[in-house]
Structures are given as C-alpha cells and as structure tokens.
Amino acid sequence: MSKLVELVDIVTNFYTYEGTVKALNRVSLTIEHGSSFGLVGESGCGKSVTARSIMRVVQEPGRIEGGSVLVYLDETDETKMIDLMKQSEDYMVDLRGNKISMIFQEPNAALNPIMSVGEQVAESFLFHRKQELCKKVLSELNSPDCKTIYPLRKLLQSIYMAADENPDSFGLKLMSKIPVLKWWRRRMKQEALKQSAEIISKLGIPNPAEVVKLYPHNLSGGMKQRIVIAIALACNPVLLIADEATSNLDVTIQAQILELLRELKQKEISSILLITHDLGVVAETCDRVGVMYAGNLCEVADVKDLFSHPRHPYTRALLDSVPKLSQEGELKSIEGNVPNLVTPPPGCRFHPRCPYRKGICSVELPELRNVGKNHQAACHVLPE
Amino acid sequence: MQKILELKRLKKHYPILGGVLRKKISSVRALDGIDLDIYRGECLGVVGESGCGKTTAGKTIIRLHTPTNGSVYYYPEGRGPEGRMDIASTKISALKRLGIRSKLQMVFQDPTTSLNPRMLAKHIIAEPIKVQENVGGRELEGRIIGLLQLVGMTRDHLLRYPHEFSGGQRQRIAVARAIATNPEFIVLDEPTSALDVSVQAQILNLLKSLQEKLNLTYLFVTHHLLVVKYISDRTAVMYLGKIVELGKTRDIFSRPIHPYTHALLSGIPIPDVEHKQHRIILTGDVPSPVNPPQGCRFHTRCAFSVDRCRMEDPDLAEVENGRSVACHRQHEMEKLVSDRFG
C-alpha cells in the first residue's frame, strides 16, 4: 500500500500563563491509502492536537513548532508530495473540507444553530465546488425547458459563463456583496442544496428533502452527527479525520454511526483517521492503531497485533484497565496520574507509572523502533 | 436476602410550563412506574441510553426529587419488615430527624462540578458530618483523615482546593464525602464517565473494596455496559422511564431476553479483535419522553413487534428465579433473535 499522509517529527506547543505545554513531542506516523488508522489514548495525550496539526488548525495559544506533514495525493507517484507546513494559508483553506476533512467531537458545537442543516452542508459545495455548480446551472439555463424569461436568462447565462471561467474574479465578488445584484448566486445555492439533499440521503437519513430545511435543534444527537459527517463528506475527501465522532452518543446510536463509517469506508472515502479514547471502537473499525501517551506516540501496530501482542508497557496497562465481557477477578489499574505536560517527566514520559522501569528510562526518551512485522514501539525495556 | 429499599410504581414527571400564566401544559415522563427491590449488600447496576430516566431514578430513590406518584419503602437495619417506612411520603424534616438522610447518599457524575471550588477538601468532607452530628476540633479532623485514608489519600490533601486535584482524586473526595455519614445505601451516578480509562479502573476498584469494608449497598447508574458487567451483581435495563429487563448481571450478559437488551449488548464495542459479534443495529432514535409511544415503548424500534405490542404495555413479569422481563413475546424471543440475526 502507498502512503497518503506522513507526519514527521511534529512538535506542537501551547504557550499558556503556567508555562509551555509540550502537547506533541516529535510525533511521526504514516497513514496509508485505503486504510483506517486509529489513534487512542487518554484525554490530554495529544490525539486531537495531532489531528489539528495535520489540518493546521491548532487553536490559540498553540503553535506548530516543527516537523512536516507530507501528503501524497497521487496514489501512483510517490515523488509528488506536498508538505502542508510549507504551504500558504490560502492553499490550506482550499484543502480543508475538500481533500482532507474533519468531523468534530461535539455535533452541537460543530453545527451553526442559526443556519438550516441543508445550508450548512451546501456551504462546502459553494466553497470548493463553485465551477461544477456553475456548469450545472449553465446546462440548466441552456436546456430548452428552462422557464426563465429570455432577457433574464441571457443575463444569467453570461454571468454564469464568467463565473465558470473564473469564480473568484473581482467583478463577481463585488456583485456578490451588493444587494439585489447578489441574487445571481441564488441558482447556484439551490443547486448546492439539491446536492446536499443527495449526500444526506446517502447517510441513511429518511426524507432528506425535508431534513435540509430543519435547524440543528430539531434533530436528535445521532442525526446531528450524521449531518456533521455529511458536511465532511461533501467534497469526497481522500482523508477523513473523525475526532471522537461517537464519544457523546448512546450505545445504540454509536453502533449506527460506526456501521455508517464502515460502509462509507468501503464505498466513498479512501482513508479514515479515527481518534478515540475507546479501545473497543478501535478494535472494531480500524486496520492500524497508534497509542499515544502524554504527547508521544508509544506504539504503532496492526490492530490484531496490538490487541493480541501489545509490547509497550502503557498499551498493556491500558488494555488491562478496560473492563471486558469475560472479565473475571480484579481489574488492573495504572498507578498514578497522567503527567502535567508543562513539566513532563524527563526521559520516557511513562516511566513514573511504569512497573518495568530501569535507570535509562528516566534519562533518555525512547524512539519508535521495529519490534515485529509492521509493529513499532517506543520503549527501552520492551518486557516480554 | 434482606431488602433495603422497595420501589412500588414509582413515578416522576417533570412539568413543562407554558402560556402567559405558566400553567403546566405537559410533562416529561422521566420515570413512569418502576417496581424494584434492592437488597442489602448488593450492587444494582442501572443501564440505558441518555434520557431513559436512570439518573432521575437514583435521585428520586434518595428523595433528592419528590416523586409524583408511588412509594419508596426503606427497611432500617435490624428492624424487620414491620419497621419499613415510605420515604416518598415522609416530610424532608422528618427524614433528617430520623437520620434517614444520612443513610442514603449519592456520588455525582462530574467531580469538577459537584465539589464547591471555594471549599477546602477538609471542609467538603466535614460538611455532611457537621450537619448530622455535633462534633468538632480534633475528633472531626481525625475522622476526616480516616475517611481520606479509606479512599486512598493522605493527610497532605486536607488543606487543598478541588482545582488542585486531578480528576481521579476529586472523585475520591466525592466518595469520601458520601461515606462520611456512615451510609447504608449510595447512589453512584456515572461516577467514572468523566474519568480516563486508567483512572476509571482505580475508582471502580476503590468502590468495590469500600463496599466490602463498609457493607454498603450501591445503585450504580451508568451508560457504560462493561463497567456494569464488572461491578454489579444485578442489572436493570431501562428504556424510556421503565425497566425492561432485570436480573443477575451474569445472566443478562450471557442470555439477554428483551430485544432492547439484545441490541444494547450487541452494540458495545469490545476491545478484543478476536471477538466477532453480529451486531443488531436499531433504527431511529429514542422517542421523546414527553409523549411516549402507545403500548410497549420499544415497539417503534423493535424488529419483532406485533399488533399486541402496539396496543398493550407489557408489565415486568418474572420469567425465572430472579429474572424479570417486560415483553409480550419474551418466551419466543430467544428463538426469534437467533433466527433473525444468527
């Protein structure tokens, strides 16, 4: 399989009053075309910051301080890669929601309460797919059964012809700002709404033509999450980042959404980066898993490998501390707490809680190294 | 086994006010007729989706909410069934005077909001003791230190504010506050859902050991099924304000009967790659508790509903020893599910 996104030594810091929070400490990982990569860890370990760093949307007071995000959009040609860290903001704006899109954690916060859900899905078409929309509207205007009166049709045709050539031209932008004149966009919006109804129906929402007119408060949690997914999927992204997409949902709704993601994975999108704290979700939906702890990636492996032969002490402890269906006897817990990232422990950040620690652990930060086929772990000791 | 609490047809409806005169126009039927016996020394898990009335059940049982209808009988220790009293209809002042309030305690979901940020840990734990008894000075301090040690903390933590603790430690303080008055019964309302996985295990183990040491009875309210599986002896599954299945946790997980329990259990993501389970995906969402569906409340999402389900609300009926299910087709359900989903 070929690479799609490669993170190399990403460092992201947050500059707070209490000091510098070293949220990501040289994280490197690779997501392949057609795979679903799961990122697990406890809260505050840097999962979401990793996702936000890929999109370059780290909030204030955070800053990406180093490293590179290499994106291989062309599956066949590995040399045609783009380093997102070196691109302009304009390029990123064009990329977000188009080639790489993201589902945010809380659907209530991700949706705008004063826009109908149809408009919100249509926004991504209007932003990234202007030319296609213009072509559609033009073909509609040119068709013989167009009912618009002749002079108006002629006018609209000329405007849309100009828009088709260069949708960002100054004249059109100016026209979109002036009342009355901005009505030329109406047909484009209607077309976008039509397309959003289509994408909403694909996500298994009954009666899409009615649903697009509703507002977020009219919908239930599961439906809202579907709308958020629809927004993310609107432009057929190559990578979908799902940041805790199911954490706030009930078990039965979570099962629906996971099933949906799995179906979409087969049909629509090539790769998913699934961020979650729930090991069960990862076991069921992902091919590859990365385990994060306190801003470091400590183990990367195929899902079967990771659950059957975890190598890093933290992964083992984490797997042991989750109650299982076949749980007998006492649940093992990890002693202590997650460290404060303003003053992380020296060396391996897990060593104060690690039962296998040695002298070197508190001195030197271990690097990810191969411990098996497609299996890397960052540990000095690697207990058997 | 001895009963500690007995709920009879317990109902709690929250009024919805509307119009100019703020009259009651409708009500949210959070709890709609629950019958439940809670035995001394057990841990009863209550599971269900959000909005099914789990938390309301917990709060109504210990009379943080006054029930709309029905009764909650409390059997004091060593008094036998004759000594029972109805908490639901007793005045709050009487509950305080008789010392029943101190016997029924609660641990809330999010320790960040359930602890007063302006009080020291010491005062937080001392507050319920001071309300009940007239102690002070060294004796009180000694008791607080004892409680802190019981929940795995030390006397260094006495003079700190809640924000200085981590999430797990805060929840430990909340537990210490709940056990400060020597209660018999504690409602644990999602005590681990705000915590991380590794800390969750610590708190669960702490709760288990405290139950043994202090001979406590728990009502463990959660939406996390694997946690219930781990900690509780019996489990009640709730749906839209009613209990749909009740039984020993082991039985419910190995052999669910009600179709909702089937769906709920098959929906748990299992952290084990070897485990391949056939998933029952329910269509649609939970109906609104303001006007729940006619007949069986689950029929709108049930794959096996028949005409009778749409007309008649099934009662919670005992199927076998200690196992009750509210379903019209309970006897054929096992076969139906296996035929349909394999």
Quick: pLDDT tens for B80-114. Answer: 788 888 998 889 999 988 888 899 999 998 888 99
**Chain A contact present for B230, CB below 8 A:** yes
Instruction: Flag whether pLDDT at A1 surpasses 80.
Output: no
ipTM of the complex: 0.79
pLDDT in the model for residue B213: 93
Q: pTM for the complete prediction?
A: 0.84
B173 contacts B125 by C-beta, under 8 angstroms: yes
* A253–B275 CB contact, under 8 Å: no
Q: What percent of chain B has pLDDT above 70?
A: 99
Instruction: Flag whether pLDDT at B275 surpasses 70.
Output: no
* B196–A338 CB contact, under 8 Å: yes
Looking at beta carbons, which residues of chain B come within 8 Å of A334? Answer: 198, 201-202
DSSP A112: -
- E strand or H helix at A78, and its extent? none
Instruction: Work out the average pLDDT over B120-146.
Output: 91
Averaged pLDDT of chain B: 89
User: From CA B256, how far away is CA B246, in angstroms rounded?
Assistant: 10
In angstroms, the Cα distances linking B144 to B115, B131, B135, B210 are: 16, 14, 12, 16
Instruction: Flag whether pLDDT at B117 surpasses 90.
Output: yes
As a dihedral over the C-alpha atoms of residue B63, residue B65, residue B67, residue B73, rounded to 10 degrees, the angle is -10
**Confidence at B276, pLDDT banded by 50, 70, 90:** low
> What digits encode the pLDDT tens for the residues A252-287?
888 888 888 888 888 777 789 999 988 888 888 898
User: From CA A278, how far away is CA A47, in angstroms rounded?
Assistant: 12
Distance of CA B327 to the CA centre of its chain: 22
B102 contacts B133 by C-beta, under 8 angstroms: no
Instruction: Kindly report which listed range (A283-287, B242-246, B285-289) carries the lowest average pLDDT score.
Output: B285-289
User: From CA A376, how far away is CA A366, in angstroms rounded?
Assistant: 12
* B271–A282 CB contact, under 8 Å: yes
CA-nearest residue to A256 within chain B is B281
Instruction: Kindly report which listed range (A53-67, A243-257, B147-161, B300-314) carries the lowest average pLDDT score.
Output: A243-257
Those residues with Cβ within 8 angstroms of residue A170's Cβ, 6 or more apart along the chain or in another chain: none
Sheet containing A62-71: give its strands across.
Answer: A19-32, A3-16, A62-71, A82-83
Give the count of Cβ contacts less than 8 A between chain A and B: 123
Least Cα distance to A205 among A270, A252, A256, A249 occurs for A256
pLDDT in the model for residue A383: 77
Looking at beta carbons, which residues of chain A come within 8 Å of B285? Answer: 220-223, 253
- E strand or H helix at A36, and its extent? strand A36-40
pLDDT in the model for residue A214: 92
Q: How far is B68 from chain A (nearest CA, A)?
A: 27
Burial of A29 (0-12, 13-18, 19+ CB in 10 A): buried
pLDDT in the model for residue B209: 93
Sheet containing A296-302: give its strands across.
Answer: A100-103, A239-243, A271-276, A36-40, A288-293, A296-302, A375-377, A369-372
Instruction: Flag whether pLDDT at B134 surpasses 70.
Output: yes
The domain locations on chain B are: 3-253
> What digits encode the pLDDT tens for the residues A61-88?
899 998 999 998 877 777 788 899 999 9
Domain topology for B3-253: Rossmann fold (3.40.50)
pLDDT in the model for residue B212: 93
* B267–A254 CB contact, under 8 Å: yes
Instruction: Flag whether pLDDT at B243 surpasses 90.
Output: yes
A308 vs B229, B267, B273: nearest CB = B273
**Chain A contact present for B267, CB below 8 A:** yes
**Chain A contact present for B55, CB below 8 A:** no
A287 contacts A302 by C-beta, under 8 angstroms: yes
CA-nearest residue to A286 within chain B is B273
H helix intervals, chain A? 47-55, 89-95, 107-110, 117-128, 130-142, 150-165, 170-177, 186-202, 208-211, 221-233, 251-267, 279-285, 303-308, 313-320
Instruction: Kindly report which listed range (A232-236, A245-249, A307-311) carries the lowest average pLDDT score.
Output: A245-249
> What digits encode the pLDDT tens for the residues A112-141?
999 999 999 999 998 888 888 888 888 888
Instruction: Flag whether pLDDT at B73 surpasses 90.
Output: yes
> What digits encode the pLDDT tens for the residues B150-189?
999 988 899 999 998 888 899 999 999 999 999 999 999 9
pLDDT in the model for residue B342: 64
Query: What is the maximal distance between C-alpha atoms in chain B?
Result: 68
Identify the structural domains of chain A with CATH numbers, from first to last. 1-108+238-328+357-384 (3.40.50.300), 117-196 (no CATH)
Two tokens, residue B275: 């485990």
Looking at beta carbons, which residues of chain A come within 8 Å of B264? Answer: 251-252
* B226–A308 CB contact, under 8 Å: no
Averaged pLDDT of chain A: 87
Q: How far is A86 from chain B (nearest CA, A)?
A: 36
DSSP B232: -
pLDDT in the model for residue A64: 92
User: From CA A43, how far away is CA B191, in angstroms rounded?
Assistant: 17
* B49–A281 CB contact, under 8 Å: no
* B273–A220 CB contact, under 8 Å: no
